[in-house]
Structure 1
Amino acid sequence: MFEISFRNESDATAIYMNVLEKNPESDSILSLHKEKIVVESKDVHFYRNTIVPVLKYYIHRTKEKEWILSVLENTFYYKEEEEQEQILCILQSILLGERSDIPNLPAVEQRDAQLESVMQSFFQKPISFSFDSFITFRLKEYFEGLQVFVEAAIDEYKLEQEYQSFVHQLRELLTTTDSKLDELHLVYQYQFDFYDKSFSHIPKNQLIKFMNRTHFNNYSYYIDSVVLAPLVSIAPKKLFLYTDNTEHQLVETIRNIFEERAVVLPFHYFGQNKSKID
């Protein structure tokens, strides 16, 4: 017989139910006593194939989130639930390998290997132990390693907030700017080229004349003077953007700023539409 003790009854209950779900026949050797689970067997097979995987899963799914929320609130002072959830969402995408472009992060697989190593080392045979002490001391380095990913998620969250603020400011400016052209055609293949409704190319010196630089002097963000500043200054009622690279960051930004004013079309549509005018 051995015991697993818990600080919180909710942890004990959740793990007890998870063990029963994984191995329904284990109720004959398993009992729950408030903050304690008593196992009436020292069968190594049951221990390694049922108890240990359930503990590992619970650490992954529940205790990690509790630890992350505590760090966000007490170390980085993100106390609003909405902010915490957004950062958690970003963190989840990082841990799933969906943001491989973030530099200087250790391989996600290293975390899994580290947890597996600690679990295998500690749980070689059935022993009585405190679940919370195991997390605090045995998994100290594991959770410290997790903080690197939390900090990366916070950095990404800040960048996304800044980007949303940037887009919002330009969107506000767009709505208060008189349209200088009813229709504008923007083509992107290797560079951005501007055309009027007759599909006549608008040269750079003409774009500069459209721009009102005083609009951008009070902005805390750098406004690209080659594409965004002319676009917002012209404030076309309808913007047709021709490109095959719809995931380009500037293309996405233009769509976010112009919203329903913008129509994104494949690159070859420009030649087809232009030939109708010619």
Structure 2
Amino acid sequence: MEIVFDTQQEAADFYRRLPSSFRQVTGVLLINSRLAVFPDKTADYKEFAQLITRYIIEHHEKDWIMTIIEKYYYFTEPEEQVAILNIVFAIFAGEKNDLPQTETLKDRRETIMESLEGILKEHNTFSFESIIRFRLIAYKEALRQYVEIAIDEYKLEQEYQVFIDKLRRIIRAYKPLCEKIEVYDEHPFRLYDDHHRLIRNVQSVRSFYPLLKQWGIEAEPSIVLTLIALAPKQVIVYTDRPEHGMMKTLHHVFEDRVCFVASTLHLSSGSGATQ
């Protein structure tokens, strides 16, 4: 089998990235801009396909994703492009498994591997450029789908950030009704003021919600908005789930005003709160 590259440099670069064990087993020869490979068994073909796949991903994937972001979806600002690119990479790394759309997407490596199966076994000579141009249609379409999902996530993150910024401005604008609030992550949440008194009159706090419309915020009552209505200088949250979305939102909104304490630590020391 012989692969023809566009340049000697590209051929040499590909050759250097082949494991020495594979080069020895398959008798790889580098001749100018050509690479001669002599796979002996099915496992050799599969390993070679994996190596080509890795090379394509390492050398071309980022540029192709950036092209899709700009040419197909018209994001031209470098900052936005990088943000979307990072979300795509996070999806690849399995860090965005909470996005339901990703469940239907096929693994991009498998997509490339399937595209290479025929050409490696059926052709004695082919160019690497032909793989790039004609064999990766399904892979590039998969990349487009990944980018589309990343853009949707990016827009949601932007909307979330705008929401958080508005809530921060509200906290700064309003006079605190309490110096300190203690929050107990239970069902429902329990709030205590700075005199360790249970805040019972939630209805009066909820009268704050219509005022949010003045800030362009449409939101249902929640523990976050209740705390914003009170605008305390300090929030202590007793919880065993600091990574939960609600807790992250509290942290984003109140920033250095909030701290999280394990519920077990509080229970071991006693609440001291009066009801």
- Whether 2:233 is the aligned partner of 1:237: answer yes
Structure 2 equivalent of residue 266 of structure 1: 262
Aligned residues: 270
Distance 1:258 1:28, change over 3 A: closer
SS in 2 for 1:79: coil
Whole-angstrom distance in 2 between the partners of 1:179 and 1:122 = 70
Q: Which of 35, 39, 45 does residue 44 from structure 1 map onto?
A: 39
Structure 2 equivalent of residue 66 of structure 1: 63
Whole-angstrom distance in 1 between the partners of 2:21 and 2:65 = 27
Deviation, 1:236, is: 0.6
Asked if the contact 1:5/1:129 (under 8 Å) is kept, the reply is: no
- Whether 2:31 is the aligned partner of 1:31: answer yes
Whole-angstrom distance in 2 between the partners of 1:246 and 1:212 = 26
Distance 1:137 1:60, change over 3 A: same
Whole-angstrom distance in 2 between the partners of 1:207 and 1:249 = 23
Structure 1 equivalent of residue 17 of structure 2: 18
Whole-angstrom distance in 2 between the partners of 1:156 and 1:217 = 25
Tell me the TM-score normalised to structure 1 length.
Answer: 0.82
- Whether 2:46 is the aligned partner of 1:81: answer no
- Whether 2:183 is the aligned partner of 1:186: answer yes
Structure 2 equivalent of residue 128 of structure 1: 125
Whole-angstrom distance in 2 between the partners of 1:5 and 1:78 = 32
Deviation, 1:16, is: 3.9
Asked if the contact 2:182/2:235 (under 8 Å) is kept, the reply is: yes
Structure 1 equivalent of residue 222 of structure 2: 226
Whole-angstrom distance in 2 between the partners of 1:268 and 1:2 = 66
Distance 1:27 1:112, change over 3 A: closer
Distance 1:212 1:102, change over 3 A: closer
Listed one character per residue, the Cα deviations across residues 29-87 of structure 1 (whole Å, up to 9, x for unaligned) are 3133xxxx223x45234984775443221112222222111100111122233322222
Map of 1:159-198 to 2, 5 A cutoff?
159-198=156-195
The amino acid of 2:88's aligned partner reads: L
Q: Which of 237, 248, 251 does residue 255 from structure 1 map onto?
A: 251
- Whether 2:152 is the aligned partner of 1:155: answer yes
The amino acid of 2:206's aligned partner reads: I
What is the RMSD of the two structures over their aligned residues, measured on CA atoms? 3.1
Listed one character per residue, the Cα deviations across residues 84-119 of structure 1 (whole Å, up to 9, x for unaligned) are 222222212222333222223355554333322221
Contiguous gaps of at least 5 residues in structure 1: none
Distance 1:17 1:218, change over 3 A: farther
Contiguous gaps of at least 5 residues in structure 2: none
Deviation, 1:257, is: 0.8
- Whether 2:205 is the aligned partner of 1:207: answer yes
Asked if the contact 2:240/2:262 (under 8 Å) is kept, the reply is: yes
The amino acid of 1:15's aligned partner reads: F
Distance 1:273 1:234, change over 3 A: farther
SS in 2 for 1:91: helix
Distance 1:24 1:142, change over 3 A: closer
The farther-off stretch of 230-239 and 12-21 is 12-21
Whole-angstrom distance in 1 between the partners of 2:197 and 2:106 = 54
